[in-house]
Amino acid sequence: MKLITVDTAASAHSPVSVLVIYTGGTFGMVYDRRLETLVPFNFEQILDRIPELARLRFSISVLVLDELLDSSNMQPEHWLHLSQIIAERYDQYDSFVIVHGTDTMAYTASALSFLFENLNKPVILTGAQLPIGAARTDAVENFITALEIAAARDEYNQPMVPEVAIYFHSLLLRGNRARKQESSQFNAFQSENYPLLAEAGVTIDYNRPYIRSYQSDQPFRVHQKLDSNVVILKIFPGISASVLHSILSIENLKGVVLETYGAGNAPTAPWFLEALQKATERGVILLNVSQCMGGKVMQGRYQTSKYLNDMGLVSGADLTSEAAVTKLMFLLGQYGDDIERIRKELSESLRGELS
């Protein structure tokens, strides 16, 4: 990995240092006239692309990963690698900004939020819908404001946002509450079930009651186990018994995020309920989340979800699918076959992912 020091207006004794971790994605692409295609740019030329960085009054270092990734290729092992990078440098830097592709950014933010226990420093993910080499790029504003948020301190000189968050198109969102909702507009991310942490206009306005509190007495801990033997199963009209059986019979399957209708409703056909019942009896954990962008699962409210409740499915309440699947991976990684503990903690808010 290559470490680059950015020449900013920070003094030699600047009180705040930010480490940027560049993973790849649309953000860092420029057009190569010779190849007639987009290629990753050299981050050592970041001041040429974003000269405004030179006016920032805190120190910035950039760590460029050896293997740059399109975020569509992001895997759990990459989340563990990112968490380890931050763990090894946690005492060296005050804040962290991760430049990441947008397609799986919400998954990465959710995963990191669970892997980091007692996090007391900002970890801000950002990226771009248009490459930094494009005339109308959104990369510059996203990057500069993410850096400023990462460096921000409150009246007690503590980090303003000591949690994993996503900054994109003027909005700061809790990482495990965010979802990508747009592929062609700049407002790529939203958080339907939790208020904004901050909004950037002429000033950056922080919604402080909704930002996680700084906990100075708790030691920072990084977990290093995830179990990816899980699937997301979206219920749809016409799903067949054979398809459902095939999915629930996957070898070594340990958990299923079941995306149901509305407030947690699903078919009540005997073959459907029997398939779920057999899966739970085999020790597969079924987590019920809504297909809707907003609202939550209210398991048992309607007859069509009462059967799921009686069967022992875990209500995901207002978990996003991204938070649900990464939380399931995390808890399976920590507790293995302790199904009751996993079920219990799925129903609890560990990192502010549940209301």
Mean pLDDT, residues 335-355? 97
CA-angle at 120, arms to 114 and 121, nearest 5°: 95
Q: Cα–Cα distances in Å, from 261 out to 56, 86, 111, 239, 278?
A: 48, 38, 25, 13, 21
Domain count, the chain: 2
Residue 177 lies in a domain: yes
Bridge partners (DSSP) listed for residue 289: 259
247-268 pLDDT per residue, tens: 999 999 999 999 999 999 999 9
The fraction of the chain above a pLDDT of 70, given in percent, is 99
Whether residue 205 is found in the same domain as residue 256:
no
71-94 pLDDT per residue, tens: 999 999 999 999 999 999 999 999
Residue ending a domain, choose from 173, 196, 222: 222
Confidence of residue 35 (pLDDT cuts 50, 70, 90): confident
Residue 354 lies in a domain: no
Whether residue 199 is found in the same domain as residue 126:
yes
Catalytic residue among 8, 23, 26, 104: 26
Residue 123 lies in a domain: yes
pLDDT reported for residue 193: 96
304-326 pLDDT per residue, tens: 778 888 888 999 999 999 999 99
3-class secondary structure, 171 = strand
Bridge partners (DSSP) listed for residue 160: none
Residue ending a domain, choose from 169, 202, 222: 222
Whether residue 57 is found in the same domain as residue 30:
yes
pTM above 0.85, yes or no: yes
> Do the beta carbons of residue 287 and residue 324 sit within 8 Å?
yes
Which ranges of 175-320 does DSSP label H, i.e. alpha helix? 241-248, 270-281, 303-311
Whether residue 170 is found in the same domain as residue 282:
no
Residue 351 lies in a domain: no
Whether residue 182 is found in the same domain as residue 320:
no
Among 11-20, 116-125, 159-168, where is mean pLDDT lowest? Answer: 11-20
Q: Which conformational region is residue 168 in: left (phi greater than 0), alpha (psi within -120 to 50 degrees), or beta?
A: beta
Residue 111 lies in a domain: yes
CATH of the domain at 281: 3.40.50.40
Residue 99 lies in a domain: yes
Whether residue 301 is found in the same domain as residue 167:
no
Confidence of residue 32 (pLDDT cuts 50, 70, 90): confident
Q: Is 26 labeled as catalytic in the residue annotation?
A: yes
Whether residue 147 is found in the same domain as residue 271:
no
pLDDT reported for residue 233: 98
Write the CB contacts of 322 (distance below 8 Å, at least 6 apart in sequence). Answer: 106, 107, 109, 110, 176, 178, 179
Confidence of residue 282 (pLDDT cuts 50, 70, 90): very high
CATH of the domain at 33: 3.40.50.1170
Strand 314-315 with 285-290, pairing? parallel
- Containing domain of residue 16, as a range? 2-222
Mean pLDDT, residues 57-62? 95
Q: Give the residue, 36 or 58, on which the prediction is more confident.
A: 58
Whether residue 215 is found in the same domain as residue 238:
no
Residue 353 lies in a domain: no
Whether residue 54 is found in the same domain as residue 203:
yes
Whether residue 21 is found in the same domain as residue 99:
yes
pLDDT reported for residue 47: 87
Whether residue 217 is found in the same domain as residue 258:
no
Whether residue 34 is found in the same domain as residue 170:
yes
Mean pLDDT, residues 218-238? 97
pLDDT reported for residue 12: 65
Confidence of residue 217 (pLDDT cuts 50, 70, 90): confident
Residue 352 lies in a domain: no
